């Protein structure tokens, strides 16, 4: 009997004390285990390090997409917003406390809201906070611009100085060649004046006049074509003068597989002598050779990979009449280029901006073409444009 009693007591003790002993061992091992280096360096929630806005603006690194409107998500307080799934049946990770998460959700509420006009192509931002541009606003702007290469800003009430500051947030402003001629702004050199106004002596007070402007991407004939163009409406005609944009991502995606394969490795030679209006550029002389491949110029790949989105698009530049393809006979190149331009400007890939007071457009020259309608010469159209530097086109092969 004593033996049986002893065994029962031992069994009860083992059931009661054993788990506590094992838990203490585990806790002891856990406390003495080395901490993960990545967790040591990770900033605590709601205490994300603030970086200088100018450094962020100068970088071309891609930023995360906008998170506004995502269902069942919150934003954590790490250096970049992260979406955490709170759907039923899923565990939210990296949560420290309900209070901290609520704090972070409020802190990372989006400062700008983007309305989708055309999926993955055109977005609209109403009442952009030009007067309160900080690191977060610039980051959200960059993310929106990556998601929507064409951005329309409505209810814009700023001047030249604010427009230049806005351009600086995206990168270093560069001068358009026409800013050395009719489009020059005496007070702000960064501004390109686009207008059909006349000066007192009858000369042009701006560039491009009142006629049609053909399909092109800005300043395609330089080594590093610009990334962004920002065009702000100041005076508008009653009708006409609309701007149209063609999606080069969609144009490439719609190409037959055989044509996509044919374009791999091909580059267009963009001559630097004749501009889009057929005029000889400032400081240039028209060569005697009828072969455009022999003219001075730069070569850019037809298939271009976007530096931020990583997507592939057609990059055709402008001035179709004077283009050639590197290493290809002119007759063969002309047929191929005609086909590419026709496909790129197909109405299926085109969206039109009908201007109204308070509008400002920002477009990505690396993945879009644009053109303009003519308008009544008796009406006035005055626009101010700034341009942001880009990178050398990267081949998508």
Please give, one letter per residue, the 3-state secondary structure of the chain: CHHHHHHHHHHHHHHHHHHHHHHHHHHHHHHHCCCCHHHHHCCCCCCCCCCCHHHHHHCCCCCCCCCCCCCCEEECCCCCCCEEECCCCCCCCCCCCHHHHHHHHHHCCCCCCEEEEECCCEEEEECCCHHHCCHHHHHHHHHHHHHCCEEEEECCCCCHHHHHHHHHHHCCECCCHHHHCCCCCCCCCCCEEEECCECCCCCECCEECCCCEEEECCCCCCCCCCCEEEEEEEECCCCECCEEEEEHHHHHHCCCHHHHHHHCCCEEEEECCECCCCCECCCCCCCCCCCHHHCCEEEEECEEECCCCCCEEECCCCCHHHEEECCCCHHHHHHHHHHHHHHHCCHHHEEEECCCCCCEEEEECCCEEEEECCECCCCCCEEEEEEECCCCCEECC
Kindly report the average pLDDT of the chain as a whole number: 79
Q: What is the pLDDT of residues 101-111, one digit of tens each?
A: 333 334 457 78
| Per-residue pLDDT reduced to its tens digit, 8-17 | 555 554 555 4
Weakest mean pLDDT among 104-108, 185-189, 253-257: 104-108
**Average pLDDT in the 15-43 region?**
45
Q: State residue 56's pLDDT score.
A: 42
Condensed to tens digits (0 to 9), the pLDDT of residues 124-178 reads: 999 999 999 999 999 999 999 999 999 999 999 999 999 999 999 999 999 877 7
Distance CA 205, CA 158 (A): 21
Higher pLDDT, 39 or 243: 243
Q: Report phi then psi at 370, rounded to 5.
A: -145, 160
Beta strands 207-208; 192-195: pairing state: parallel
In whole angstroms, give the CA distance from residue 300 to residue 222: 9
In 3D, which of 106, 126, 375, 364 has the Cα closest to residue 235? Answer: 375
pLDDT at 10: 54
Per-residue pLDDT, averaged over 362-366, amounts to 98
Q: Which of 103-112, 257-266, 299-308 bottoms out in mean pLDDT, i.e. has the lowest?
A: 103-112
The mean per-residue pLDDT over the stretch 245-269 comes to 98
**Mean pLDDT, residues 355-383 taken together:** 97
Q: Which of 53-62, 250-259, 266-275 has the lowest mean pLDDT?
A: 53-62
- Percent of the chain having pLDDT more than 90? 58
Please determine, for residue 31, whether its predicted confidence score (pLDDT) is greater than 50. no
According to the model, what pLDDT value does residue 275 have?
79
| pLDDT score at 199 | 84
Per-residue pLDDT, 101: 32
pLDDT at 390 over 60: yes
Q: Is the pLDDT of residue 7 over 70?
A: no
Residue 346 has pLDDT above 80, yes or no: yes
Cα 277 from Cα 219, distance rounded (Å)? 13
Q: What's the pLDDT at 108?
A: 52
For the residues 280-303, what does the mean pLDDT come to?
89
Would you say residue 321 has pLDDT above 90? Answer: no
Q: Which residue has the higher pLDDT, 305 or 28?
A: 305
Residue 30 has pLDDT above 90, yes or no: no
Higher pLDDT, 49 or 210: 210
What confidence tier does 6 reach under pLDDT thresholds 50, 70, 90? low
Lowest mean pLDDT, pick from 57-66, 121-130, 214-223: 57-66
The more confident residue out of 204 and 334 is 334
Interval 265-276 mean pLDDT: 91
More confident residue, 313 or 184: 313
Q: Please calculate the CA angle 50-157-186 and round it to the nearest 5 degrees.
A: 95
For 204, other C-beta atoms within 10 Å of its C-beta total: 16
pLDDT of 34: 46
pLDDT the model gives residue 213 = 92
pLDDT value of residue 312? 98
Q: What is the mean pLDDT of residues 292-297?
A: 90
């Amino acid at each position: 009997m004593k033996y049986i009693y002893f065994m029962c007591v031992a069994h009860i003790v083992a059931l009661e004390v054993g788990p506590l002993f094992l838990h203490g061992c585990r806790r002891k091992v856990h406390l003495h285990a080395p901490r993960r280096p990545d967790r040591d360096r990770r900033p605590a929630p709601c205490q994300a390090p603030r970086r200088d806005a100018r450094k962020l603006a100068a970088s071309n690194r891609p930023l995360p997409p906008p998170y506004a409107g995502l269902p069942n998500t919150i934003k954590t307080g790490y250096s970049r917003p992260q979406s955490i799934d709170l759907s039923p049946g899923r565990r939210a990770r990296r949560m420290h406390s309900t209070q901290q998460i609520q704090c972070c959700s409020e802190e990372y509420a989006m400062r700008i809201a983007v309305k989708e006009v055309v999926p993955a192509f055109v977005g609209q931002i109403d009442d952009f906070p030009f007067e309160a541009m900080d690191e977060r606003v610039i980051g959200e702007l960059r993310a929106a611009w990556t998601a929507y290469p064409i951005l329309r800003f409505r209810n814009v009430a700023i001047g030249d100085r604010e427009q230049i500051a806005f351009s600086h947030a995206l990168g270093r402003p560069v001068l358009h060649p026409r800013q050395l001629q009719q489009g020059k702004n005496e007070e702000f050199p960064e501004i390109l004046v686009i207008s059909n106004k006349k000066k007192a002596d009858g000369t042009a007070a701006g560039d491009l006049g009142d006629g049609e402007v053909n399909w092109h991407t800005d300043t395609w004939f330089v080594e590093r074509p610009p990334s962004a163009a920002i065009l702000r409406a100041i005076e508008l005609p009653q009708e006409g003068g609309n701007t149209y944009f063609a999606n080069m991502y969609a144009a490439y995606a719609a190409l037959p597989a055989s044509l996509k394969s044919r374009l791999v490795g091909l580059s267009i030679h963009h001559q630097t002598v004749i501009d889009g209006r057929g005029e000889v550029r400032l400081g240039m002389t028209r060569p005697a050779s009828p072969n455009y491949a022999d003219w001075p110029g730069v070569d850019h790949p037809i298939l271009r990979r976007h530096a931020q989105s990583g997507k592939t698009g057609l990059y055709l530049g402008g001035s179709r009449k004077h283009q050639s393809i590197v290493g290809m006979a002119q007759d063969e190149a002309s047929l191929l280029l005609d086909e590419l331009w026709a496909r790129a400007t197909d109405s299926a890939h085109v969206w039109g901006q009908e201007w109204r007071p308070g509008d400002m457009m920002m477009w990505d020259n690396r993945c879009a073409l644009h053109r303009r309608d003519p308008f009544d010469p008796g009406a006035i159209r005055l626009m101010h444009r700034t341009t942001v530097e880009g990178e050398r086109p990267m081949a998508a092969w």
